[in-house]
Amino acid sequence: METSDVTAGPRDRERLRTEIVVDHDDLARLLADRIVVTIARAVAERGRCVLGLATGSTPLGIYRELIRRHTAGEVDFTHVVAFNLDEYYPMPPDSPQSYRRYMHENLFAHVNIPPANVHIPDGSVPRDRLAGHCATYERAIRDAGGIDFQLLGVGKSGHIGFNEPGSSPESRTRLVTLDTITRKDAAADFFGEDNVPREAITVGVATILEAREIALIATGEHKAAIIQRAVEGDISAEVAATFLQRHPNATVYLDLAAAADLTRIATPWLLASVEWTPRLTDRAVVWLAEEAAKAILKLSARDYAEHHLSALLARYGAPGVINGDVFNRLRDKIRGRALLPKKQRVLVFAPHPDDDVISMGGILRKLHENGNAITVAYMTSGNIAVFDHDVRRHLDFVVRATGPLGLDPATMADVRVTVEESFARKRPGEVDVPVVQDLKRVIRESEAVAALEGVGLAASSARFLNLPFYRTGEVQKHPIGDEDVALVRALLEEVQPHLLFVAGDLSDPHGTHRLCKLAIERALAQTVLHPEVWYYRGAWQEWPITEADVLVPLSHEELRAKILAIFKHQSQKDTAPFPGGHDDREFWQRVEARNIETAARADRLGLAEYYAIEAYVVKGRKDGKTEGR
């Protein structure tokens, strides 16, 4: 996608002021700027600044940036009063999922805000006192002078705070029942949907709309659909975020992925004249073919005229010329085994121990058959995604095998007691004891090796980096640090790859893919290496044909072999702890459907018919020259 489309595109259909940031990391700096300015202005005018704060993964970068600026002496929180939006109910304040604990660990413990100025709904209040607690919370906001700056996230149900579908614009702080979509979204934090509370305390829509300034932030492909509805759709109680359209000073801040469905990004030619680059032409013609339900080479002048693409037609003079150019570019993206790299050094970075076969199990086999030297680096242990019952099963095997393996039965019995005692006292989401964390790590490592062998690679191809940022034992991770980057850099310099495969899907439930991508980018910047970088997707979505640079066809047998490799990850099969999104299918089922649908879509466009297709975006450098589009 061309950056100019984003920065200069018309906004005719946007009913909320919307800012799109090309570099995801710039969002944190941009929002921190707004908050610092607001604090300075409000304190100067009224002696205090009242902030409305949100939780979740999206604001973490903002809070880290605010902590950095406070440490540098750039912002003072002495006269800041903070009100958080919500809290699960019931929720002990010391629980790993408590928003009180989240705010303390991620902001309040690191800045000089007076404890008396911190307000968070109390999830431990007895039910018979809840109404009074909510009224007191509302009164405290009013007594503080109202909120100067309200930070918001948005859920896939369109909720702001926990104002779920059906919330009234007149609603105030209250107890609400959580929507099914919201509980599915929270399942990762609670290690299973069954552990997610069914209720929450939330500040109401009316209270939010009384803030003097509002900033809603969203990142990732999984937020694109609800953002389009909130920004371009009609105001509706079914999507609480649409109520922000009534606010005179509300702004939506997005990264490119979250903005993908907005008209100025998805179909800018419907709004104004555009610069018809080859990539934008491809997007427009494919869109037209799908709207008209025709193959590309069958599109007529009338099709272009009826779908507001007369300007594109005029530029080329005849539909046959446009159709042929686009068809040829798409056709040339298709690369069977004969057109894939041969005898190269290939380094695959997999954020979790199954991302490689889920996303690129087909091309892995083809690259191996082409004589490439392949190393697969599993960046994190993935141990938090292993159920306790899997540990019991593997431990039972070892105990039973003590005789054949020559192990000490007493030692194994002691380990088993330790593990079972830890399970008995552990609440959902609590950190496992070290021995359990190690056992879960080993389970995933053994599955990863078995899966590699399933696509033809030797066990020696696997490298387990176990990056430190992941070693919290919790869903929430540390920021990428120097040690993480150093481990990635060391492997890069050891392998000296010609081709580098990196996860390009950023919608994983707890942000690990994004953090791993950041570690790789930082490590690469510290080297003199210029590998060609191939970005893969698969676990949560696939690259669209127009965005992909390489389409790798798979036969029925090749797709089946890929699925069998995914099956080797038994701890993630049947029911995965972190499935992501609202797709109840197993990962192998999603992969099968996406790969088959990509091929079917190509077929509908008139390209060669294949059983399945994997898609990749390529952005590489060789000899200092950028390759790929």
Per-residue pLDDT tens over the stretch 318-334: 999 999 999 999 999 99
pLDDT tens per residue, range 122-159: 999 999 999 999 999 999 999 999 999 999 999 989 99
Is 164 one of the catalytic residues? yes
Please report, as a single letter, which amino acid is at residue 244: L
Taking the C-alpha atoms of residue 456 and residue 558, their distance in angstroms, rounded to an integer, is: 12
Structure tokens at 507: 């919608």
The predicted model gives 245-251 an average pLDDT of 98
In sequence order, what are the residues at sequence separation of 6 or more whose Cβ sits closer than 8 angstroms to the Cβ of residue 31? 62, 65, 151, 215, 217, 253
pLDDT tens per residue, range 430-466: 889 999 999 999 999 999 999 999 999 999 999 999 9
Number of Cβ within 10 Å of residue 22's Cβ equals: 12
Q: What is the pLDDT of residue 397?
A: 95
pLDDT tens per residue, range 561-598: 999 999 999 999 877 656 555 567 888 999 999 999 99
340-385+432-627, which class in CATH?
alpha beta
Taking the C-alpha atoms of residue 608 and residue 553, their distance in angstroms, rounded to an integer, is: 10
Q: How confident is the model at residue 601 (pLDDT cuts 50, 70, 90)?
A: very high
pLDDT tens per residue, range 98-115: 999 999 999 999 999 999
Q: State the CATH architecture for 18-264.
A: 3-Layer(aba) Sandwich (3.40)
Q: Which of 532, 466, 496, 553 is nearest to 375 (CA)?
A: 496
Taking the C-alpha atoms of residue 108 and residue 81, their distance in angstroms, rounded to an integer, is: 11
Q: Which sign does the torsion angle of CA 243, 249, 250, 251 carry? A: positive
Q: What is the pLDDT of residue 8?
A: 54
Structure tokens at 440: 């879960």
How buried is residue 494: exposed, middle or buried, by Cβ count under 10 Å (0-12/13-18/19+)? exposed
Please report, as a single letter, which amino acid is at residue 599: A
What is the percent of the chain where pLDDT is above 90? 84
DSSP symbols for 368-413? HHTT-EEEEEE-S--GGGS-HHHHHHHHHHHHHTHHHHT--HHHHH
Tally of CA atoms within 13 A in the half-sphere of 195 that contains its CB: 15
Q: Residue 625: pLDDT above 50?
A: no
Q: Residue 622: pLDDT above 60?
A: no
Q: What is the pLDDT of residue 581?
A: 53
Rg (CA), the chain: 26
Instruction: Report in angstroms the alpha-carbon separations of 586 from 266, 387, 567.
Output: 29, 16, 10
Q: What is the pLDDT of residue 582?
A: 59
Per the CB < 8 A criterion, the answer to whether 28 and 62 are in contact is yes
pLDDT tens per residue, range 546-555: 999 999 999 9
Q: What is the pTM of this model?
A: 0.87
Mean pLDDT of the chain: 93
Lowest mean pLDDT among 226-235, 388-397, 584-593: 584-593
Residue in the structure block whose two tokens are 């490298």: 463
Residue in the structure block whose two tokens are 């993964």: 57
Q: What is the pLDDT of residue 510?
A: 57
Q: How confident is the model at residue 627 (pLDDT cuts 50, 70, 90)?
A: very low
Per the CB < 8 A criterion, the answer to whether 151 and 62 are in contact is yes
Q: What single DSSP character describes residue 568?
A: T
Tell me which of 87, 164, 542, 586 is the catalytic residue.
Answer: 164
Taking the C-alpha atoms of residue 313 and residue 325, their distance in angstroms, rounded to an integer, is: 13
Domain extents in the chain: 18-264, 271-331, 340-385+432-627
Exposure string over 60-76, b if 16+ CB within 10 A, otherwise e: bbbbbbbbebbeeeebe
In sequence order, what are the residues at sequence separation of 6 or more whose Cβ sits closer than 8 angstroms to the Cβ of residue 461? 374, 375, 376, 452
Q: Where are the alpha helices (DSSP H) in 575-626?
A: 587-604
Number of Cβ within 10 Å of residue 575's Cβ equals: 10
Q: What is the pLDDT of residue 11?
A: 86
Q: Which of 610, 475, 619 is nearest to 536 (CA)?
A: 619
Q: What is the pLDDT of residue 5?
A: 45
Q: Residue 301: pLDDT above 80?
A: yes
What is the percent of the chain where pLDDT is above 70? 95
Q: What is the pLDDT of residue 506?
A: 64
CATH topology of 18-264 equal to that of 340-385+432-627?
Answer: yes
Percentage helix, strand, coil, to 5, in the chain?
Answer: 50, 15, 35
Taking the C-alpha atoms of residue 361 and residue 364, their distance in angstroms, rounded to an integer, is: 5
